[in-house]
Amino acid sequence: MLISCKEDIVKNSSGYFSNLQFSVDTVIIDPGDEIIFLKHQLLNSDMGKGEKYLYNFNVDDHTLEKINLDELRLEEKFPFEKEGPNGTGPGIGMMRFIDESHVSITGMYLSSLFSMEGEKLMTVYYENFSLAEWHNGGDLLMGGSVLLDPDSKRLYGLIQGYEDKKFVLGVLHLEKYETSRVELKSFNKMPEYSFMHYIGKSTMHQTPKVGIEKFGRKVILSNEITSDLMWYDTAMDSFFMKSYTSQLTANKKEKTYKKEHETPQEYRVEYARYKQEVNFMPPFWDRDGQLFLRFSYIENESRTDVYLTTYDEELNQLGETLVPHLTKKPTKHFAKDGKIWIYENMKDEMGFVRLKMEKIK
């Protein structure tokens, strides 16, 4: 596979927000006679392609919850098996929507394709690609940061090196059992922002949050320490990177931090300092506006400032703004019908704060 890399420097324009105003409302999902799984802030949920349904994996009863966002209700639950030929295996790393008939479920060492009825159709074992052997001194494919693409017979994922702890994009060619690796320039500073602390005899690690999402032919990679975005064009077999200049925040984290801590308390104090610098979240697609959106935030003791940046289809920055309606880090969020839906636990019910952008007449 031939891979090229192109880097662009894009200066900010705030024009996109010059004639827009924000408004918010809230909605609650009707669970019927069921209890919707909310323990992990919808970490294992994903939007359907038509934006009508949100799929949420319930690890308590091992079902896939199908939530109708148009009618604001839990519509159906699909049962899955834990063990046996169709078993999901011990632990659920990440569930992703593939299409109306399929989802993928990943663990630490494998990724499987399932039908909505819970039938296992394919499993990719990372060890077959000489990965997932970190405990033996090998490189690790991060189970929570992979994309299974059954149509192209590929799996895209972040690989962290055992020796240098650096990240690369791995493209696993499932029919050939081959792996292509692409250096991620915007991820080079990641090891400098990894924290470690001790709890008894156990060692706890905290690394910067990363994003890997596929939108059309783009596999977009992001991390929380920089506004830079990188993406792999699956049709062109080419890699691209863009850097941006913000007028509202820093473009990246700039301070240095102590990485190893003897106690959890010492770690929490240092990690709070880390969150006081700007933190970038993964971009997401707004089908209604035909643009990408991306949150960033600065988390202080007394308040959290939340910013929203917009990009066109080619990831050119269109504008940025402070969102005064949001006063804490956005949890699970997505765009639907011209609004940004942000998950909110409302007295143990699934709720959403909906942020709408309207043109000022």
In DSSP terms, which residues pair with 141 in a beta bridge? 159
Q: What is the pLDDT of residues 291-306, one digit of tens each?
A: 999 999 999 988 999 9
How far apart, in whole angstroms, are the C-alpha atoms of residue 74 and residue 25?
A: 20
Contact partners, residue 245, CB within 8 Å, separation at least 6: 9, 10, 11, 12, 251
Contact partners, residue 62, CB within 8 Å, separation at least 6: 79, 80, 81, 82, 88
How far apart, in whole angstroms, are the C-alpha atoms of residue 64 and residue 70?
A: 18
> What does the pLDDT average to over 52-72?
96
Query: What amino acid occupies position 40?
Result: H
CB of 222 closer than 8 Å to CB of 241? no
Report the alpha-carbon angle 265-267-269, nearest 5: 70
More confident residue, 186 or 17: 186
| pTM, two decimal places | 0.92
Choose the weakest-confidence range: 85-99, 273-287, 308-322: 85-99
Q: Using a pLDDT cut of 70, give the percent of the chain over it.
A: 94
Q: Report pLDDT for 99.
A: 94
How far apart, in whole angstroms, are the C-alpha atoms of residue 215 and residue 355?
A: 22
> How far is residue 255 from each of residues 102, 208, 218, 301, 351, measured CA to CA in Å?
43, 14, 32, 18, 36
How far apart, in whole angstroms, are the C-alpha atoms of residue 312 and residue 357?
A: 16
Q: What is the pLDDT of residues 139-151, one digit of tens each?
A: 888 888 999 999 9
DSSP 213: E
How far apart, in whole angstroms, are the C-alpha atoms of residue 55 and residue 67?
A: 6
**Total residues found in the chain within this entry:** 361
